[in-house]
Chains A and B, each alone.
Chain A
């Protein structure tokens, strides 16, 4: 097993196919990262809101079982 390209520019151009390959890689990785960041953002946002609500209602926390 060895690297199929002689240098970096050869790796980037991929004998004419580089533009297609790298657009596909860039698009896919952007989408995958977005899939990770979106739920983390929602989680953080809801947690923040819940904490603010909690400070408004000063009711003490009951046992784990009570809702």
Chain B
């Protein structure tokens, strides 16, 4: 009995805002340093050292922001939906906090992907915006993120807002495979995926290496910012508890 409790203890701990607050506080300096290092390395490498594209010239360098932001816009949606599902099933407070924190980050990532894509579209396609399948499905993703954000704040009872937005997040996951597959299913202006798990990348290794560094940097950045948002939310929700008061006074 005691052994099985020991095995599951980490799960109970994971659900505790206080435990998350303390452990993430210890991660923050490392996450910040790693984010800064990866993003600076990837950016300088991609902007100055990677060779220009044979057809697109130097405008292709926007890829070093566009693709990592798009990756996190999609991955962040799954994180938000899975956290929402965990909150609905197990009624864990921490899961809803993660879901709430993931929504603004995902929305900004989608905005970066759309904006850099529009800027990239001008010299490449001759237009800032086209109603292309990939672009349109990304715009729907932005609206889904905004919907989840708005729904959380639409109810006086915070718990109802959490549940409603978790359901919207889950229903919205149907859009994610559509975004992934849009470049294959429809005839689109958007180029096919540069990186695929199932086949070799369609990119020269000298261009690919800084892109991988940037994607890694964006993932670490995402974890860092998710921790920051979740910590702010925890302090907001638990401000009247003794443990938060103690942390704010600086006593452990």
Residues of A near B78 (CB, < 8 A) are none
Q: Are B62 and A24 in contact (CB under 8 A)?
A: yes
Interface string of B61-100 (1 = CB under 8 A from A): 1100110010000000000000000000000000000000
Residues of A near B39 (CB, < 8 A) are 32
Interface check B191, CB cutoff 8 A: no
The residue that B49 contacts in the complex, of A3, A51, A64, with Cβ under 8 A, is: A3
The residue that A47 contacts in the complex, of B52, B115, B235, with Cβ under 8 A, is: B235
Q: Are A27 and B112 in contact (CB under 8 A)?
A: yes
Q: Which residue of the partner chain A has the closest CB to B251?
A: A61
Interface string of B97-136 (1 = CB under 8 A from A): 0000000110010011001100110110000000000000
Q: Are B49 and A24 in contact (CB under 8 A)?
A: no
Q: Are A4 and B108 in contact (CB under 8 A)?
A: no
Complex Cα spacing A47 to B57, Å: 50
8 A Cβ contacts from A43-64 to B: 43, 46-47, 49-51, 53-54, 61-64
Complex Cα spacing A66 to B245, Å: 12
Provide the main secondary structure of the chain B interface.
helix
Interface string of B222-251 (1 = CB under 8 A from A): 001100110110011001111111101100
Q: Are A51 and B112 in contact (CB under 8 A)?
A: no
Q: Which of A2, A24, A34, A46 has the most CB of B within 10 A?
A: A24
Residues of A near B49 (CB, < 8 A) are 1-4
8 A Cβ contacts from B10-26 to A: none
Q: Are A20 and B123 in contact (CB under 8 A)?
A: yes
Complex Cα spacing A61 to B231, Å: 22
The residue that A35 contacts in the complex, of B51, B108, B122, B248, with Cβ under 8 A, is: B108
Q: Are A20 and B112 in contact (CB under 8 A)?
A: no
Q: Are B248 and A50 in contact (CB under 8 A)?
A: yes
Q: Which residue of the partner chain B has the closest CB to A1?
A: B49
Complex Cα spacing A40 to B196, Å: 36
Q: Indicate whether A39 sits within 8 Å of B231 (C-beta atoms), given known contacts A1-B49, A21-B61, A64-B246.
A: yes
Interface check A15, CB cutoff 8 A: yes
Q: Which residue of the partner chain B has the closest CB to A54?
A: B245
Interface string of B27-58 (1 = CB under 8 A from A): 00000000000010001000111111000011
Closest 3 CB pairs of A and B: A14-B58, A39-B228, A17-B59
